[in-house]
């Protein structure tokens, strides 16, 4: 991994944190998300649990919600396109659905979306590289990674922080702002594809105001063997690295491409509001029994589990953008 980082540095001894993440997570041979390993679930050797661990119920709930948001009469003309940081099967795998078709775009694969579509993701945007900044007496300084002979270390970079990055002017000395710039750029690039329909992204995030004033040590963390950590450099390529997305930035990117009124709801509220009828059928059909499906439902909806930890941003666009972009890779 040190060799791959030195190659990315191109002769420099320091790189910014986003560059470090690009190698640690997405290097074709050594990157965390590129390795053919099981990372999600409860089995030995896994690192974290997501809503997809509650399959197939999660896919059924998402399908029901999308049908309601689109209108049952229109759902059948849409392709369901799931964009993921993982190479696992999609959430609709083995699930009956009314959509024209469904497919998964995995890590490293080109994103091509056209015509009527539902573009869905689960924990895609928090897996994108982010940059880190710390308030110093003289102003904001970008944090990066020093590549030594045998070790990595966090350092303050000598470069000037770009003025177009929205950092809080009133932050106290020592405040850390983890800026998920790549996630907003990815959302905008997906939106520029020649498609119309429904955008739904499940993730964990905060508003810019919350990131600017309520998270003084930043939101970056690592996950390894179901343990959350703060040492982001400990296992490059061997642990997940993530930070909260900025819902405002993602919403603005979508609005700029013609999506109407992006809305963020807690995962619990999203499913109750848009898949409530399906949830009622589950509860009614299984009576007082405590089935696996009910356990999965509790995992997805209960506030102390995933119900409030995760949010869903959704919005619609009626018209295909005039100038589509070229294919992308997540």
- Tell me: the pLDDT tens digits for 233-274? 999 999 999 999 999 999 999 999 999 999 999 999 999 999
Task: Report the distance separating Cα 114 and Cα 110, nearest Å.
Answer: 13
Q: What pLDDT sits at residue 53?
A: 72
Q: Are 150 and 23 in contact (CB under 8 A)?
A: no
Beta strands in 148-301 (DSSP E): 152-156, 176-179, 195-203, 205-206, 221-224, 227-229, 240-242, 245-246, 260-266
Q: What pLDDT sits at residue 145?
A: 96
pLDDT digits (tens, 9 = 90+) for 103-151: 999 888 899 999 999 999 999 999 999 999 999 999 999 999 999 888 9
Burial degree of 20 (CB within 10 A; 0-12, 13-18, 19+): buried
Place of tokens 């303050």: 156
Q: What pLDDT sits at residue 71?
A: 85
Beta strands in the chain (DSSP E): 14-16, 79-83, 101-105, 115-122, 131-136, 139-147, 152-156, 176-179, 195-203, 205-206, 221-224, 227-229, 240-242, 245-246, 260-266, 311-317
Q: What pLDDT sits at residue 323?
A: 58
Q: What pLDDT sits at residue 50?
A: 74
Q: What pLDDT sits at residue 317?
A: 95
Residues of the chain with pLDDT under 50: 324-330
* pTM of structure: 0.91
115: left (phi over 0), alpha (psi -120 to 50) or beta: left
């Amino acid at each position: 991994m040190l060799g791959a980082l030195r190659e990315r540095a191109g002769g420099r001894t320091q790189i910014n944190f986003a560059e470090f993440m690009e190698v640690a997570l997405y290097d074709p041979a050594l990157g965390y998300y590129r390795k053919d390993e099981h990372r999600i679930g409860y089995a030995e050797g896994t690192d974290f649990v997501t809503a997809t661990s509650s399959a197939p119920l999660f896919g059924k709930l998402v399908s029901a919600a999308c049908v309601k948001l689109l209108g049952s009469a229109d759902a059948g003309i849409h392709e369901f396109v799931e964009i993921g940081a993982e190479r696992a099967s999609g959430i609709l795998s083995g699930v009956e659905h009314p959509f024209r078709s469904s497919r998964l775009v995995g890590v490293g694969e080109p994103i091509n979306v056209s015509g009527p579509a539902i573009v869905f993701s689960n924990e895609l945007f928090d897996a994108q590289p982010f940059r880190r900044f710390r308030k110093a007496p003289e102003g904001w300084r970008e944090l990066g990674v020093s590549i030594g002979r045998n070790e990595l270390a966090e350092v303050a970079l000598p470069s000037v922080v770009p003025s177009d990055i929205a950092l809080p002017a009133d932050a106290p000395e020592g405040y850390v702002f983890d800026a998920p710039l790549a996630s907003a750029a990815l959302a905008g690039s997906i939106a520029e594809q020649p498609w119309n329909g429904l955008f739904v992204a499940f993730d964990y995030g905060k508003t810019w105001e919350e990131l600017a004033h309520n998270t003084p040590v930043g939101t970056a963390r690592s996950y390894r063997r179901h343990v959350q950590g703060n040492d982001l450099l400990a296992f490059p390529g061997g642990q997940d690295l993530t930070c909260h997305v900025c819902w405002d930035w993602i919403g603005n990117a979508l609005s700029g491409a013609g999506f109407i009124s992006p809305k963020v709801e807690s995962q619990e509220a999203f499913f109750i509001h848009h898949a409530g009828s399906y949830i009622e059928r589950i509860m009614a059909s299984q009576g007082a029994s405590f089935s696996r499906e009910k356990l999965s439902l509790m995992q997805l909806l209960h506030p102390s589990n995933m119900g409030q930890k995760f949010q869903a941003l959704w919005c619609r666009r009626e018209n295909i953008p005039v100038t589509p972009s070229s294919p992308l890779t997540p």
